[in-house]
Structure formats: structure tokens, C-alpha cells
């Protein structure tokens, strides 16, 4: 979500920024895409929302933007850290607190990088050399904020950034997005927890 991402970008101090996919999901795909493109030397990972955009996204984005995002790589490696959307082999595999260590190891089979950073399930966690960066726009952390990851010399550090929730709620409600009402109610006026998400995702 563009407003939460603006808050993070105003705070982050890093040599490179990696966007981990699903950046256009939500009420402001055009604005969010313009924002990420404004970041110098940024790297992009394709999420499932970019691989297979549907409905609102196709209505709001230019055809050339859709094709460009579909061409983003599934993984990016930087300084011996592999970035992916979910796992290195799939942008839809599920990793939650309920996922067994053995299953996570199977997701990382054949990957030589010392650290693997994923996302997709929107909850920060570290499981050995696998780290979930969390979600800027729709976290499952029981708190309304933007959750992201800083990697410094190969070491991950979880971060979160606050933003003007009331202003964002008003903007979402005025956006025309079909899911605006439920999103504001469940993710801005409320705060889904990782336990809620695990109940849906499993592990």
C-alpha cells in the first residue's frame, strides 16, 4: 500500500532496496508502482500478484506495466542473500510458525546462499537461514504498522514503521477499490494476528 510504503522509504537507510513482490496488490497499484520505480537502483522480485494480476490491477495498470512486472525475476541474489517472494522454488508456498523445520529445509534444498528472505504470508519470522520480511501494506502481526526487514552485512533485523492510519483509511475508502470496506475494517481499524493467518494458511 503506497502510504505505508512512503513511510518506510522515508525511514529506511540502506545501500540497496529489494522489493519482494506483491507491491501492486491493493487499492493503489499505479501509485505504488510509480513509487517503487522512483527508488534508485532498486531490485524487484516478482510476487504472485505480479505474475498473475487480476481484476482491479488489470483495470488500473497499463498493459506495458503488467508485462514489465511479469518479467521481474522470481529470485534476486545480493551479497550472498537470496530474495524471493515465498520460497526459492515457488511464489505461493506457505511458511508460517506452524511449518516444520524439515519442510522449510526442503524448500531451501539446493540453495547455497547464507540467508534466504521471503514473504508471502505477511508475518515476520526467522527459521534458521530462512527469514520472512513481513508485510508493509497488509501485515498479520496484531498491530497496524508497516513491517519490513533490514539486512546488514548478511544479518537480518526486523523493523516496523508507523503511519497515519486515519488518513490512510480515508484514502482507501475513497479509492473506489471493491475491497476497500473490508480492508479498512479488518486491516486498518483492526489488526489481524499471525494466529488468524495460520488458521487460514496452515503450515
- Rounded CA-CA distance 5/124 in Å is 17
Do the bridges between strand 75-78 and strand 146-152 make them parallel or antiparallel, or are there none, so unpaired?
Answer: unpaired
Residue of 170, 164, 194, 202 whose CA lies nearest to 183 = 170
Residue-level pLDDT at 203: 72
Task: Evaluate whether 117 touches 85 at the Cβ level (below 8 Å).
Answer: no
Helix (H) or strand (E) holding 110: none
Domain boundaries, the chain: 2-201
Quick check: helix, strand or coil at residue 15?
coil
Residue 161's nearest CA partner among 6, 20, 26, 2 is 6
**C-alpha cell read off for 2:** 503506497
User: What pLDDT score was predicted for residue 200?
Assistant: 84
Q: Which CATH superfamily is domain 2-201 in?
A: Metallo-dependent phosphatases (3.60.21.10)
User: According to the model, what pLDDT value does residue 60 have?
Assistant: 95
d(CA 168, CA 180): 11
Mean pLDDT per 10-residue section of the chain, whose length is 203 residues: 95 95 96 97 97 94 96 97 97 94 95 96 95 96 97 95 97 97 96 90 78
Amino acid at each position: 500500500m503506497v502510504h505505508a510504503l512512503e513511510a518506510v522509504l522515508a525511514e529506511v537507510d540502506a545501500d540497496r532496496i529489494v522489493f519482494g513482490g506483491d507491491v501492486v496488490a491493493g487499492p493503489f497499484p499505479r501509485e505504488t508502482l510509480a513509487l517503487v520505480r522512483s527508488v534508485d537502483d532498486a531490485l524487484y522480485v516478482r510476487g504472485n500478484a505480479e505474475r498473475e494480476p487480476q481484476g482491479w490491477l488489470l483495470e488500473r495498470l497499463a498493459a506495458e506495466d503488467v508485462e514489465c512486472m511479469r518479467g521481474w525475476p522470481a529470485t534476486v541474489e545480493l551479497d550472498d542473500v537470496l530474495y524471493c517472494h515465498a520460497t526459492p522454488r515457488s511464489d505461493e508456498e506457505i511458511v508460517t510458525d506452524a511449518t516444520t523445520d524439515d519442510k522449510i529445509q526442503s524448500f531451501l534444498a539446493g540453495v547455497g546462499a547464507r540467508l534466504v528472505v521471503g514473504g508471502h504470508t505477511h508475518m515476520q519470522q526467522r527459521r534458521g537461514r530462512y527469514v520472512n520480511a513481513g508485510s508493509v501494506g497488509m501485515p498479520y502481526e496484531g498491530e497496524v504498522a508497516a513491517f519490513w526487514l533490514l539486512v546488514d552485512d548478511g544479518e537480518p533485523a526486523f523493523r516496523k514503521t508507523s503511519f497515519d492510519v486515519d488518513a490512510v483509511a480515508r484514502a482507501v475508502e475513497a479509492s473506489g477499490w471493491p475491497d476497500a470496506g473490508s480492508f479498512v475494517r479488518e486491516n486498518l481499524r483492526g489488526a489481524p494476528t499471525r494466529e488468524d493467518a495460520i488458521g487460514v494458511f496452515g503450515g
